[in-house]
Structures are given as structure tokens and as C-alpha cells.
Structure 1
Amino acid sequence: MKITAIRTYRAEEFANVLWVHVETDAGITGLGETFYGAEACEAHIHNTLAVRLLGQNPLNIELLHREMVSLPNAQASTGVEYRAASAIDIALWDLFGKVTGQPVHTLLGGQCWDKVRVYNTCAGTRYVRTNKIKPVDTWNLGDAQTSPYEDLDAFMNRADELAENLLENGISAMKIWPFDPAGIENRGMFISAEQMKTALKPFELIRKAVGDKMEIMLEMHSLWNLPTAMEIARAVEPYAPRWYEDPIRMNNAQALAEFARNTNVWTCASETLGSRFAYKDYLDRDAAHVVMADLCWTGGLTEGRKIAALADLHHRPFAPHDCIGPVGFAAAIHMSFSQPNTLIQESVRAFYNGWYRELVTEVPRIEGGYVYPMEGPGLGTELVPQFFERSDLSTRLSEAN
């Protein structure tokens, strides 16, 4: 079997997402995805990777992965090179599953769990849907909403009601980021007493409404300098959060280790890290209690399982990231089921009940606060037929000579 073509797709409405098809002479096609900087990732795939991949055996996944991430500048980052390689790698695993007739989690080592607990990242229906991602400007606070899943507006204004609603639906863990407005306004340099009080309000409302029935993860989006991040951690700690995620920029393991030593709450890091080599530095310095990885950014499923194994070596739980597209979400589900140290799977109900269904044939089944294994060979999902008829769709093709 040989790779005969690589085809990429971008839709203006979902400007952050890039989809890729790896086509073969056996008539089998693998589906992959990456997120953010879609046009740049597309260019790297066709201008740099295609010449190295076309004509190769797609089942030699380790070999092709090494080829893609060993290029100059493609070293331990979540930059364009790694995001592009991630999309191709996910597609190769999907293709492998279709060749063997097995779901990807079986090929990754088999199913470790009958079901995996999820938490709800409290984004809204339009969150990260535009081409602007940082600072996030898709808050839509105060807008007239028609979806029942405008959870970002809810955690900022009605956190108690949101927590009660999630529990009613069996979801007992939620992630929020009420400190972001202050972080963006002050460029992460400080937080005023009034801003602190405002940002703590959701925690107060949740604990008053549901007590300790709800686990709360605090997402800090790498917005803060170290002293201010530790000040926030001290203020939030009485509300017993599950973890603090990315409190500072993930470019200094020693600084994050100092943060981790100064709180009794777990430190989670980080979807912004690329490759197992970056994670090793953080784990060696005791900087992360929970290892989070985004398979669309950190090197795909091939690198993701090595990161999970590295976390297990350090007796750390693994928690795949998802605030991206539907194919990346499916890949994360397969990874979660195949790893013995999976703690919990991120999910966004505004996405899997919303725009994901506009794009793919199958969305993972989530019921009662748990996700269940994807069925069918490969990833178990495809782009819907009407996707290829979109008026805002652009495509690019590289073929073997």
C-alpha cells in the first residue's frame, strides 16, 4: 500500500480547523485534523511534508512520524510543524484502523476502561469558532442566546445554576476561567482587589449551591506572571478546586515547579507543550501533577501515547485536552480508552451537542457524565457528505507523480 494523495480542507466558518485526507492506492482514506493557524499548517503539509510522504507505506506510522517531526524547527513545540504533523499522524492511525477493521483504541493497546469520566469545559457555542484565539474575544456576554449550552455566559453570571444543571445531567466536574478578563486587561502583571473578588464569585456560587458535589478546574490560559498566579492560587484554594491549569506561560519548568510547590492544589500542564521531550522537563522538576496533551498539537496519537506512558512512569494521571474540532475529539477519546492512567476526558457540551454535528457523521456518546468507546474501524467518524458542498470550503491537493 502506498500514499497516493494528501488533500486538505478549510471552511471559512471554522477558520481555525484544518482537516486532512490521506489517500492510498488501496482506495482507503484516513481522516485527520488540527486546530489553529489552519492555512499555515496546510502550507506546511503540501510544501514540506507531502514530498516526504507521497509514495510511502502509510502503515509505517512510527517511521513517518519521525520523518515529520525531525525536520529543522520542528522540535518540541506546538508550532505549525507539529500541528501539521499531528493532523497527518491522526489520519494515518484512522487509515490503519480501517485496514485492520479495528477501532484506533484497540490498535493503541486495547481498551483499559468500559467508560471514561468527562468534565465539561464551560465554553459557549461560538467559543474559538473565529480565527481569533488569544486573547479569546468570543465571550458573547450579554448577547441574546438561543442555545441551552451557553456555558461561558453561565459560569460568568449564573455559576450556581450552571453547576446544578450539569449535575442534573450527570456531569460532576467543570472547568471555568473567570480570571481571564482581568488577566487580559492587566496583561497578567497584577490583579486588583475588586477583580479578585469578581473572579472568585463563580466559585462562591458553585460551592454554596452544590457543595462539594462538583469538581472545579481553574483554567488560567497562561496569562499570568508567577507572583500573581500564586496570589490567585492562594485565593482560590479555600474553594477546593481539582487543579490549576497553565497558570503561567509554559516555557519555564522551574517557574511552574515553584508554583506547584506553593499550593496544595494539583497543577495541570499542558496542551501548549509539544512532544514528550517538553513534558519530560516538567515531570523531572515535579512541575505537573496532571499531564494534559492535545493530540492535534503535540504530535498526534503516536506522540500522545508516549506522553501518557511518560506520565505513568512518573505516577502522574493523564487527561487529554479537547477544546478543538470533532476529529481531534474523537482521537482523544480513543487515546483515553487505551491508556491505563487516564484520569478524565475534557469535553465541551456546547460543541458535541452543537457544531461538531454539523461536520462529522459520528460524535462520541456521552451519557451520565461518562464517554463511551467509539465504534467502527479507525476513528469511527467521517466528514459528513454535505461538508464537501459548503460554499465556504477551500481545498488543496498534493498527488504522487
Structure 2
Amino acid sequence: MKIADLQILRMAASHAAATNWTFVKIYTDTGLYGIGEASAQYKDEALMAELQAFKRFLIGKDPFQIEHIWTSLHRRVTWTGGPVTMSAISAIDLALWDIKGKALGVPVYELLGGKVRETVPLYANGWFAGADSPEEYARQAAKTVAQGYRCVKLYPFRGAQVITPERLELGVARVAAVREAVGPHCEIGVDIRGRLNIWSARRVAQKLEPYDIAWLEEPILFDNVDAMAALAHSVRVPVATGEQLYTRWEFRSLLEKNAVGIIQPDICHAGGMSELKKIATAAETYYVTVAPHNSNGPISTVASLHLDINIPNGFMQELFINHLDRYNEVLDRPLQIVDGACIVPDGPGWGVDLREEVIRRYPPLDFTPVESEPYRDFF
């Protein structure tokens, strides 16, 4: 069996923001194909060019040689790493795992070593559309928990990196209202999205202690591990980061410094299934929990679930519940969610396929860097 072609499929994620989903289909000379997903949000043109360049390398290669292909694309490419190259490698890697599972007639999670749990618990993101006041957050959080989810994440702190007393008070009030609405047994994640500096993040962390949050995500920017570790060691709430880190080498220093208790690698950014399995294993040696980041499309979600059901240090899987309808429209089998946990598809490969007629129904959207992006208040 040899790789014969690579095709790129794109569609709009939603009309709320100019975000697109990018899928890769790798075909073999036997007619068998595998599906991957890339995600370099708002860098679509560069990502597609990288995929087309890598296609020339892939043609004629054995799709079962996943490790060789991954290492070749990562180590032998000049100017390797970064969001564009790593997202392209991730998509290719995911498609190759799908091919191998299909060819051998087993789910990808079996290729990884099998299940360590029967279902994957989810944490809900995207449930708070339009909410601003603490009361609005509380009402929508209560509705989300009533659907069976046992963990919700929100972004209660907005604005520039130096926080003001007014913004601090409003953000804490939003978290307090959500805690009151969901009760003591629902987990709460608070995502700062890298907005704050250390002084501001410490003030936020101190104010959030009474609300027993499960994690404080990216309280500062991700790119200074020493600063992240210093912050995490100085506060009493758990700190999480990792969605903008790539490969085991970038996670290594984070783990060596015992900087955080939860890491959040993204299967479409950090190197695909091959690399996330290695990152999770490395994290286990430092007793660190893994909760894969996932703001992407349906193949990213399904692939992450195959990882989650295999790794013993997995926590929960992020799911944007406002994307569920479109996920289930484009997938040939809907996601099965019961009591806030997902049943991982058990067919060969990912166990699901894409409906290309649905992809064509939602053409990709145009965007303008910075102006089309949702996070503009970091200054």
C-alpha cells in the first residue's frame, strides 16, 4: 500500500466568527483513505500551502510508517516547528492513524493499547453565548448542567493585561454566580486566555479561592515557562496551560519545572496522535494531568477522544457544545453523549467519516488578521 494523494477540504465552523475547519484526506493506491484535521486558526492560507508542499513528499510513501513520516517532516524540514508546520504535520499524522486502523480493522484506541475507561468525561465550553452579567452566566450554566455536563469553562475576565478593581470584581462575581448555579459537585474551569500579567493574575487567583475552581487556564502568556512556574507556585488554585505549545520538546521544560498540574496539548497543533501520546506519557512521569485542548472541528474531537480513552492520566475532554449540531451534521455518525460523557466510536480507524456534501454546504469564510479575531483586548 502506498500514499497516492492528499486532498484538503475546508468549511466554515460557524457564522459567529470567521473561523474555518480544515480537513485532510490521504488516499492510498488501494482506495483506502484516512481523515485528519489541521487547525491554524486565521493562518489558513499558510497552512494549505504547507500541506501542499508536504504532499509532494508523501506520494509513494508507505502509510503504515507513521513514525518515519512524522520524524521526517519534523526533523528534516528547514525552519521546522511553529503553528503552521506543526498543524500540517498533525493533520497528516491523524489521517495516517485512521488509515492504519481501517486497514487492520480496529479503532485507533486499540492501536494505542486499548481502553483504560469506558467513556470520556467532557467539559463544556461555548455554553455562555451572549452572557455578560453574573445572572446571565448563572442561568446558562444551570441549563448546561441540566443537560448532564459536570464541568463548565468560562472566560470571566476581559480587557487589558493590567486588571482594574472593577474588572476584578465583575469577573469574580461571574464565577461566584456560576458556582452558586451549578452547586458544589460541578467542576469549573476559568480561562484567562493569556490576558493578564503576573501581578493581575495573582490577584485573580486569590479572589477565586473560595469558589473551588478546578483550574485557572493560561493566566499569563504561555511563552515564558519560568514566569508560569513562578505564578503557579505562588497561588493556591491549580494552573493549566499548553494549548499553544508544540511537541514533547516544548512541554519538557514545563514538566521539568513542575510548573502546572494540568497540561492542555491540542491534537491538531502539537503533532497529532503520535505526539500527544508521547506528551501524555511524559506528563505521567511528573504526575501531571492531561486535558486536551479542542476548539477545532469534529475530527479533532473524535481523535482526542481516542487518545483520552487510552491514557491513564487523562482528565476531561474539552467540547464546544455550541458546535455540536454542526459536528453531528458533518459526521456520518453523531457523537454519543450520555450524562456529560462521550462514548468513543468503536469502528475501524476513527469510527466515523465526513459527509462531503455537508462540507460543501458551508463554504469557508474570509477573514482579516487581527480584525476578524475574537481576542483583541490584550494590551
TM-score under structure 2 length normalisation: 0.90
The 5 Å alignment of 1:241-260 reads 241-260=213-232
User: What whole-Å deviation, never above 9, does each CA across 1:11-55 have from its counterpart, x for those lacking one?
Assistant: 3566432111100001101101112222211100112x1222111
> Is residue 215 from structure 1 mapped to residue 187 from structure 2 by the alignment?
yes
* Residues 268 and 300, structure 2, Cα contact 8 Å, conserved in 1: yes
Partner Cα distance (1:17, 1:38) in 2: 9
> Is residue 361 from structure 1 mapped to residue 332 from structure 2 by the alignment?
yes
Aligned residue pairs, count? 357
* Residues 12 and 21, structure 2, Cα contact 8 Å, conserved in 1: no
Q: 1:388 to 1:199 in 2, by over 3 A?
A: closer
Letter in 2 for 1:162: Q
The 5 Å alignment of 1:341-360 reads 341-352=313-324, 354-360=325-331
The aligned residue for residue 138 of structure 1 is none
> Is residue 45 from structure 1 mapped to residue 51 from structure 2 by the alignment?
yes
Partner Cα distance (2:12, 2:137) in 1: 33
Partner Cα distance (2:59, 2:35) in 1: 16
Give how far 1:107 is off. Answer: 0.7
Give how far 1:391 is off. Answer: 7.4
* Residues 9 and 393, structure 1, Cα contact 8 Å, conserved in 2: no
Letter in 2 for 1:153: G
* Residues 11 and 360, structure 2, Cα contact 8 Å, conserved in 1: no
The aligned residue for residue 6 of structure 2 is 6
> Is residue 104 from structure 1 mapped to residue 108 from structure 2 by the alignment?
yes
Q: 1:155 to 1:340 in 2, by over 3 A?
A: farther
Uncovered stretches (5+) of structure 1, i.e. residues with no partner = 124-149, 395-401
- Greater Cα shift, 25-34 or 235-244: 235-244
RMSD, aligned α-carbons: 1.8
> Is residue 198 from structure 1 mapped to residue 170 from structure 2 by the alignment?
yes
Give how far 1:211 is off. Answer: 3.3
Q: Percent identity?
A: 29
> Is residue 384 from structure 1 mapped to residue 362 from structure 2 by the alignment?
no
Give how far 1:232 is off. Answer: 1.4
The aligned residue for residue 139 of structure 1 is none
Partner Cα distance (1:270, 1:33) in 2: 19
Partner Cα distance (1:231, 1:82) in 2: 35
The aligned residue for residue 302 of structure 1 is 274
> Is residue 54 from structure 1 mapped to residue 25 from structure 2 by the alignment?
no
The aligned residue for residue 94 of structure 1 is 98
Partner Cα distance (2:316, 2:118) in 1: 13
- Greater Cα shift, 4-13 or 218-227: 4-13
Partner Cα distance (1:108, 1:160) in 2: 40
* Residues 155 and 162, structure 1, Cα contact 8 Å, conserved in 2: no
Query: What secondary structure, in the 3-state scheme, does the structure 1 residue paired with 2:130 have?
Result: helix
Give how far 1:62 is off. Answer: 0.3
Give how far 1:251 is off. Answer: 0.9
Partner Cα distance (2:322, 2:47) in 1: 26
The aligned residue for residue 24 of structure 1 is 28
The aligned residue for residue 118 of structure 1 is 122
* Residues 108 and 338, structure 1, Cα contact 8 Å, conserved in 2: yes
> Is residue 326 from structure 1 mapped to residue 335 from structure 2 by the alignment?
no
The aligned residue for residue 68 of structure 1 is 73
Q: 1:388 to 1:226 in 2, by over 3 A?
A: closer
Give how far 1:10 is off. Answer: 2.0
Give how far 1:175 is off. Answer: 0.4
The aligned residue for residue 312 of structure 2 is 340
Give how far 1:169 is off. Answer: 2.0
Uncovered stretches (5+) of structure 2, i.e. residues with no partner = 366-379
User: What whole-Å deviation, never above 9, does each CA across 1:247-296 have from its counterpart, x for those lacking one?
Assistant: 11111111000111111211112111100111110010111111211100
The aligned residue for residue 87 of structure 2 is 83
* Residues 265 and 276, structure 2, Cα contact 8 Å, conserved in 1: yes
The one of 236, 244, 249 equivalent to 1:264 is 236
